[in-house]
Structure 1
Amino acid sequence: MSERKRLTRIFKMHGLSIQASALDTLLDVVQREAEVGRNKADVNNVIFNIIDEIKDRRIQGGNGSGGRSSSVGNIVTSALLEDVVADFRRDAKDVSDEAVQLLDAFHMPRLDFDRMRKNFSLVSFGKEERTLYGEAVAKVDMFNQRYALIQQRILRQDIFQPKLVTNRLARSAQNNGGTHTITPVESLLGRSGRRFLLGMIVQVEEGKYYLEDHTAQVPLNFSEASLLTDGFVTENSVVLIEGEAIDGVLHVHNMGSPIVENRLDSIKAIGLQNTDIFNSIGSLSEYEKLREQELEHGEDGMFVVLSDVYLDSPAVIEKIERMLEGYSDFNPLPIFVFMGNFTSKPLSSASEGTKAMISYFEDLANVICKFPNVANEGRFVFIPGPNDPGITGVLPRGPIPNYFTAALRSKVKNVMLASNPCRMRFFTKEIVFFRDNLVSKMRRNCLIEPRQDSNGQLSSHAIKTVLDQGHLSPLPLSTSPIYWQHDHALRLYPFPDALICGDRVEQYYETYEECDAINPGPFSNGFNFVVYRPVGETSGSQTKSDVELCEVP
């Protein structure tokens, strides 16, 4: 029996009919497998693996990885077979390259919560018009969504879930030690005694703060307030309050940050289809397949992150060269993330300042090109700082304009100019990169001093604040202006797997509710940086990240 007839018969035995052109492709595969020394049994195993993959794709709708393969009924087309064979030939590097995806803040889908229907929806970029300067209704919607996303999270906590009771004794036990009820602000009128409230702190008049929810607002008296959780309390932050309304003023007794939940619990509540902002995981089966690839190849992935990389400093350029030399022989190479500011002082918009910035990036390109492997194979991500060229002072901010990096992009093959903040996917992991002076901003705007019984680091308070609030900038708009229609790009709900925030304070790493919170520290001061491995080690079906705080000697 000829090989052609034998292969046709094998496919028929599995309920498939293979086209002549697809059969030619399969014969080429068999021939190549035989040429590399595989025996007949190994070649047959390759054929059976191809058939199993084809069946899986037919069950899932017949779509290949590239979106161009298809099958009609039981017919195996040439396009389908080529896609399947191409997937089998991918090596670990190919898989890792495809696992990395960068998402710009201005093209990010928006997660909305409908308070009436109590459901979530993911509004993709392009389905609505978003501008930098929205109408007033966009500002109202921005704060409504911030509050609604926290409120639904709080009301799902056991402590605020009403219990079914059958008698007076059970009801009394519930009131004394069981659940609590969130009282709307408008319901305070005419009620005495302590109540639990959830609201946003707003400044309606100069120096006078109110608690506001979607029903009303009430003046606040903080004179007897005790802060029960770590973190900063600032204007525009959402807080849980235990207090009593007296003469139209809410006297605060106890106050704390909203209760948080880890990423997995949030995804279960929201649904995978509404949390995949990268639009790369269409179903649970695809998610499981990506998890398998993550377990097999993810340990090779590594990010080297630097912040405050002053390119106008000869010492910084020298240390970057030494750092790149240390990683030049790695296989695969890490992904290098450079966060601004990229100059020690803001440059003027005059021609001299523009020329200087262009020359600084060209100097960096020349350093990278000293290592041909790094220049050709390495991937570099550049995230602007507060003083870098472009539209500054408002979040999110766009990438560094191409004009300044033309020489860099012409000499270094893989350069990505990202927004601030930006998000990166590594297999199933989500990493948020953000460059801002969080600690100093929060210290200047805190209404109540943070607790002193934590680890004593202000960085810890700042990171906990943004994660508790589910937002990168829960600050007054006068301090940290935001484009109203792009506020969702600053939200941290669900939690990412890692939040890497470049701040002008000492290096910092902590895990909070299974989220890695990392500050690489300013590279310009001590030449500090961080190495982050999203899949540092695997144990069965579980993965654990690895963080190393480093310094260039």
Structure 2
Amino acid sequence: MNSQYQNRRRVARAFKMRGLAVQASALDAMLNVLKRESPHTAQETLHMILDEIKERMMSSSNTSQLSQLVVTKRLLSDVVADMSRDGGDFTDEAVQLLDAFQMPRLAYDSMRKQFTLMTDSSEERSLFAEAPHKADMYAQRYGLIQQRILRQDLFRPRLVTADGRRSDESNATHVLTPVESLLGQSGLKFLLGMIVQVEEGRYYLEDTTAQVPMDLTGAEILTDGFITENCIVLVEGEMVDGIFQVVRMGHPIIETRQDALDAIGLQNTDIFNSMSSLAEQEKMREQEIRHGQDGEFVILSDLHLDNPVVFEKLEKMFDAYQDLTPLPIFVFMGNFSSKPLTSAREGPKMMVSYFEELANLIGQYPKLAKEGRFIFVPGPNDPGMGSVLPRPPIPAFFTGAIRSKVPHANFVSNPCRMRYFSQEIVFCRQDIVNKLRRNALISPSNGDIDKEDEQRPVQHALKSMLDQGHLSPLPQSFSPICWQYDHALRLYPLPNALIVGDRVKQCYESYAECDAVNPGSFPSDFSFVVYRPVGECNGDEIKSDVEFSQIG
């Protein structure tokens, strides 16, 4: 009895030495925790718990109010629970998926210059939108790019000082001219507008004020990437006989994710509803630095389940990963059949059997089946809405076997977004490279792409999407979109990583602090990508890691 009293006084004194008051219930809970420790480690455990409690309370409380520095039983339980978890527990909690049809929409009011995050419950959305929604879709695309351009130093007006001079006159700025203001003006002008084809073979530049016919024959392209109809471009040129003669043209100036977040604000960019305050964001960032290196993604595209060789290679891959702790997250992108699903009676039956076979293969690895996370992103030929984006998940009718045998299998929309700690990752499966090549109005800035290596067209395509802030900057006739869900295809603010599954060669491009990756087509040479969002940490700096792999 005397020993218990002495232990209680000793622990209470340890709280007091750190300037903390403790409730009786919390003190009893701490004594119960220390009972489970050996005499050699109890003192060290006590100090570690108290240090963590003090750090949390000092970072979230007003230290002038001593009443807030009272340790409650709930706080103590939370700290002990967090310290008892391993890296795998943190990694599991760090992953959050967001369906394209549930994603909040970032709306921009160009008149008030205000952002608003609109949830699906605050506005009605439909797959069968009306004509005004199409106009609003393009107006929002234009407005988001325009506000980001106007914040660039090149287009930001200089302040006028008291003596009438402009500050920083050494750096000249440019003015964006509205299309409606071109009439009667001469000389070179800078315009921002969308390329539209009003008449067959004749292109116009359109902004929110008007449209003007333009001549691209002498245009010089200043940026990498494909420029197609429906792209929003920065152009320099002049009016000649009612036609805007383009001298130079390029994609809009890119903006890093952090710059966009600073301009928009945390409350309008938290699409996952996971970071309610800067303190929460900082805490998540600390966990990311501490535990993020435990997470990796194994990404395969075109997982043709009707190909027996694909199953042989999957078996080899599962053999290699089954004993890892923690397990990687497997991201499987469609198409899940080498041939489109037919409407004949046997078509759906065959697709069901393919997923049953995959479920049986995963079931041969008990740890993978029980603990492994699998994410399935539908491809353009998989059951669903055809080539329209965004696409809903593969219907449960086809995937029941996997859902029943693999508890952590997630069938998601295309595209799909994921939160990994504080990072945002976008997964999308579409054959975008060849579409952009076929629709390019002018070759990219470095010449004829037909003479380049295989990776250059992929790099051009990835940069086009990031510069445009959109996964499908193409005419609706080539890439139809659900108008009221166009925001699910936006890439603004830029994600930390963009994973686009295409049938072309593997490619990795780091652009404006965004990792853009194409994992390649798995059946062609059985190559895939291993992506680690937190490859290494140097202080507060995080570097990702992309590894191209192949199964022999």
TM-score, with structure 2 as normaliser: 0.92
Specify the alignment match of 1:64 in structure 2. none
CA distance in 2, matches of 1:177, 1:54: 46
Report the alpha carbon displacement of residue 268 of structure 1 after superposing the two structures with TM.
1.6
1:460-515 Cα shifts (integer Å, max 9, x gaps): 11111100000000111111111111111101111111111001101111111111
Q: Distance in 2 between matches of 1:480 and 1:449?
A: 20
1:68 aligned partner: none
SS of structure 1 residue aligned to 2:524? coil
Q: Equivalent of 1:127, from 97, 114, 122?
A: 122
Aligned partner of 1:371 in structure 2 is 365
Question: Equivalents in 2 of 1:446, 1:370: separation in Å?
Answer: 48
What residue in structure 1 maps to residue 296 of structure 2?
A: 302
Distance 1:44 1:508 in 2: 50
Equivalent of 2:31 in 20, 27, 34: 27
CA distance in 2: counterparts of 1:249 and 1:172, whole angstroms: 36
Q: Secondary structure at the match of 1:367?
A: helix
CA displacement, residues 318-366 of structure 1 (integer Å, 9 cap, x when unaligned): 1111111111222111111000000000121333111111110111112
Please tell me whether residue 90 in structure 1 is matched to residue 94 in structure 2: no
Q: Following superposition of structure 1 onto structure 2, how do residues 419-498 of structure 1 map, counting pairs within 5 Å?
A: 419-453=413-447, 456=453, 457-498=456-497
**Cα distance 1:53–1:542, how it changes in 2: closer, same or farther (>3 A)?**
closer
Q: Work out whether residues 11 and 51 of structure 1, in 8 Å CA contact, stay in contact via their aligned partners in 2.
A: no
Does 1:38 find its partner at 2:38?
no
**Cα offset, 1:57, TM superposition:** 8.1
Partner of 2:522: 523
CA deviation after TM superposition for structure 1 residue 380, in Å: 0.5
Q: Does 1:16 align with 2:34?
A: no
1:55 aligns with: 57
Q: Give the whole-Å Cα distance in 1 for the aligned partners of 2:68 and 2:429.
A: 52
- Structure 1 distance, partners of 2:53, 2:304, is 55
* Other-structure match for 1:415: 409
Letter of the 1:16 counterpart: A
Give 2:444's aligned amino acid. P
- CA drift of 1:284 comes to 2.0
Distance in 1, matches of 2:501 and 2:258, equals 26
Which secondary structure does the structure 1 equivalent of 2:37 belong to? Answer: helix
1:267-346 aligned within 5 A = 267-346=261-340
1:157 aligns with 2:162: no
Identical amino acids, percent of aligned pairs:
59
Q: Distance in 1 between matches of 2:342 and 2:511?
A: 40
* CA pair 19-129 structure 1, distance change in 2 beyond 3 A: farther
Residue number in structure 2 paired with 1:179: 173
Shift of 1:4: 4.5
* Cα deviation 1:58-97 (Å, max 9, x = unaligned): 6299xxxxxxxxxx96765544433332222221111111
Structure 2: which 5+ residue stretches go unaligned? none
Following superposition, the deviation at residue 165 of structure 1 comes to 5.6
C-alpha spacing 1:254/1:317, structure 2 compared with 1 (3 Å): same
Q: Distance in 2 between matches of 1:172 and 1:94?
A: 53
Query: What secondary structure does 2:122 align onto?
Result: coil
What do the CA deviations read for 1:103-138 (whole angstroms, capped 9, x no partner)?
111111111222122222222332222211122222
Measure, in 2, the Cα distance between the counterparts of 1:282 and 1:288: 11
After TM superposition, list the pairs within 5 Å mapping 1:137-148 onto structure 2.
137-148=132-143
For 1:395, the equivalent position in structure 2 comes to 389
- Pair 171,32 (structure 1): closer, same or farther in 2 beyond 3 Å: closer
With 80-89 and 150-159 compared, the bigger mean Cα shift is at 80-89
Match of 2:537 in 1: 538
Mind listing any 5+ residue stretches in structure 1 that lack a counterpart? 62-71
Indicate conservation of the 8 Å contact 2:302/2:334, yes or no: yes
The aligned counterpart of 1:506 is 505
Contact 2:377 2:393 in 1 (8 A): yes
User: 1:301 Cα shift?
Assistant: 1.2
CA-atom RMSD in angstroms: 2.6
The C-alpha deviation readout for 1:534-553, integer Å capped at 9, x for no partner, is 11111121111111111110
In the alignment, the residues of structure 2 paired with residue 498 and residue 75 of structure 1 have an alpha-carbon distance, to the nearest angstrom, of 42
TM-superposed deviation, 1:424: 1.1
The answer on whether the counterparts of 1:53 and 1:84 sit within 8 Å (CA) in structure 2 is: no
Matches within 5 A, 1:95-110: 95-110=90-105
Q: Partner residue of 1:69? A: none
Distance 1:382 1:184, change over 3 A: same
Alignment pair present for 1:251 and 2:245? yes
**2:202 counterpart of 1:198:** no
**Displacement after TM superposition at 1:167 (Å):** 11
SS of aligned partner of 1:33: coil
CA distance in 1, matches of 2:254, 2:45: 53
* Matched residues, number: 539
- CA distance in structure 2 between the partners assigned to 1:168 and 1:46 by the alignment: 61
| Paired residues of 2:530 and 2:547 also in contact (CA < 8 A) | yes
User: Residue by residue, what CA displacement relative to the aligned partner does 1:292-325 show, whole Å, maximum 9, x if unpaired?
Assistant: 2112211121111000110000011111111111
Alpha-carbon spacing, 1:549–1:171, altered in 2? closer, same or farther (3 Å): same
Partner SS state of residue 524, structure 1: helix
The equivalent of 2:350 in structure 1 is 356
Q: Is the deviation greater in 42-51 or in 304-313?
A: 42-51
SS at match of 1:152: helix
- CA pair 344-83 structure 1, distance change in 2 beyond 3 A: same
Shift of 1:2: 4.9
Change (3 A) 1:77 1:44: closer
Counterparts of 1:335 and 1:60, CA distance in 2: 40
